[in-house]
Amino acid sequence: MRVNGVHYRTVWMEGGAVKLIDQRLLPFTFAISTCRTHEETAAAIRDMVVRGAGAIGAAAGFAMAQAALRAAEPSWSADLSRGADMVRATRPTAQNLFYAVDRVLRAASTDAPVEDRRRRAIAAAQAIADEDASAGQRIGELGQALIPPKASVLTHCNAGWLAFADWGSALAPIYRAHRDGKQVHVWATETRPRGQGAKLTAWELIQEGVPCTVIPDTAVGHLMRQQRPDLVIVGADRIAANGDVANKIGTYTLAVLAKTHGVPFYVAAPTTTIDRSCPSGAAIPIEERSGDEVVWAAGRLDNGNAGRVRVIAEGPAVRNWAFDVTPAALITAIVTEQGQVPATSNAIHHLLCETAGTTATPAA
């Protein structure tokens, strides 16, 4: 991640404290938030200080390491279990969060002296963040082959540096292609109601020097009909075993429009986002957030101060689903750090078996 030419990760651990880029303040203010306990880190995940599948997973892993640092020997298992329950309750959809909690919990539950268990928890959390960054880099290297020398690419929400420990998923191939000398222009949807595309993706692309244009979510159909991007590439918060994908609300709409207009639709995600215990998108829990995010728009006011304005009259009911599910049939391919695969049960099963070094029979 480059911020004014300086490399950062989105989340990292330093002396027992978790450091996070506060994504709520972007694009107008760049600031680092410090969480000194697992309770504070869990709150940061819940309150969207950090968001994005991989970044949530890295933060969750570090939160569990913090829980291990504070756990007492007589009540070790109970303390860790309470910490795990707290972190799991923050965001229900992103698979990386649950993967990270379970992995650190296993590392900290071995039969060893307490200090060894603490060191193992910290090492596991750091490994999760490092592997997430490496996976993003590899996705960039593999995915850039999908991008023509002169390319128009459409993306939705934010699946770049800020959404992962580093590099990202959907934006990683764009960054790699740009650094390799390809001429890439990115169309970024604003992504109502929180504006992750307008506030985060556009800011990232500017930092990297990639030309971009922000469009309203409702302009996607017109764009595809009039200017037909070469491809759509988005991230994922959870991928079911059959290839259905949960991602930011509005992704399903893009996929339907891409199918209608013959535009390839790719999903980029590390294998840790795949939930092999989830048979289809129908089983993915969809987070519904406060309606206030729809009623109020936050940003910079005319006087230069941060603030928010009400955009909906009082009275109507408001629903605010944070994610939707795109059926596998609408997805051209899934790009992972292990390679590109079709969004099918068999392909995903074989990918996971190769990753784990097993040859297990697919689940019924």
Burial 35-71 (b: 16+ CB within 10 A, else e): bebbbbbbebbeebbbbbbbbbbbbbbbbbbbbbeeb
> Contact at 8 Å (CB) between 265 and 251?
no
In a domain, residue 362? The reply is: no
| Same-domain check for residues 326 and 182 | yes
| Same-domain check for residues 118 and 200 | no
Residue 111 CA to residue 105 CA, distance in Å, equals: 13
Q: Is 124 helix (H, G, I), strand (E, B) or coil?
A: helix
Can you give the pLDDT at residue 360? 41
What number of H helices and E strands is found in the chain?
A: 12, 18
| Same-domain check for residues 267 and 131 | no
Look at residues 87, 116, 138 and tell me which one is the last residue of a structural domain. Answer: 138
In a domain, residue 246? The reply is: yes
**How many folded domains does the chain comprise?**
2
Residue 70 CA to residue 35 CA, distance in Å, equals: 14
- Which amino acid is present at 33? S
Q: Which two tokens stand for residue 182?
A: 């390809």
In a domain, residue 28? The reply is: yes
Q: Is 237 a catalytic residue?
A: yes
Can you give the pLDDT at residue 357? 67
> Contact at 8 Å (CB) between 249 and 324?
yes
- Burial label for 29, CB within 10 Å (0-12, 13-18, 19+), is exposed
Strands 274-275 and 238-240, bridge-based pairing: parallel
Residue 270 CA to residue 235 CA, distance in Å, equals: 9
- The side-by-side arrangement of strands in the sheet containing 323-326 is 274-275, 238-240, 245-248, 323-326
| Same-domain check for residues 113 and 77 | yes
| Same-domain check for residues 120 and 265 | no
CATH of the domain at 24: 1.20.120.420
In a domain, residue 236? The reply is: yes
Query: 71 is in which domain, residue-wise?
Result: 2-138
Burial 286-323 (b: 16+ CB within 10 A, else e): beebeeebbbebbeeeeeeeeeeeeeeeeeeeeebebb
Q: Is 6 helix (H, G, I), strand (E, B) or coil?
A: strand
Low pLDDT (below 70) residues in the chain: 357-364
Can you give the pLDDT at residue 364? 33
Residue 343 CA to residue 294 CA, distance in Å, equals: 32
Q: Is 167 helix (H, G, I), strand (E, B) or coil?
A: coil
In a domain, residue 269? The reply is: yes
Q: Which of 39, 103, 92, 45 is closest to 67 using CA atoms?
A: 39
DSSP 241: T
Backbone phi and psi for residue 188, each to the nearest 5 degrees, phi listed first:
-115, 120
Candidates 237, 244, 275, 324; catalytic one: 237
Q: How many CB atoms lie within 10 A of CB 217?
A: 18
DSSP 201: I
Residue 252 CA to residue 259 CA, distance in Å, equals: 11
Backbone phi and psi for residue 342, each to the nearest 5 degrees, phi listed first:
-65, 155
Look at residues 80, 107, 138 and tell me which one is the last residue of a structural domain. Answer: 138
Look at residues 138, 168, 200 and tell me which one is the last residue of a structural domain. Answer: 138
Residue 57 CA to residue 124 CA, distance in Å, equals: 12
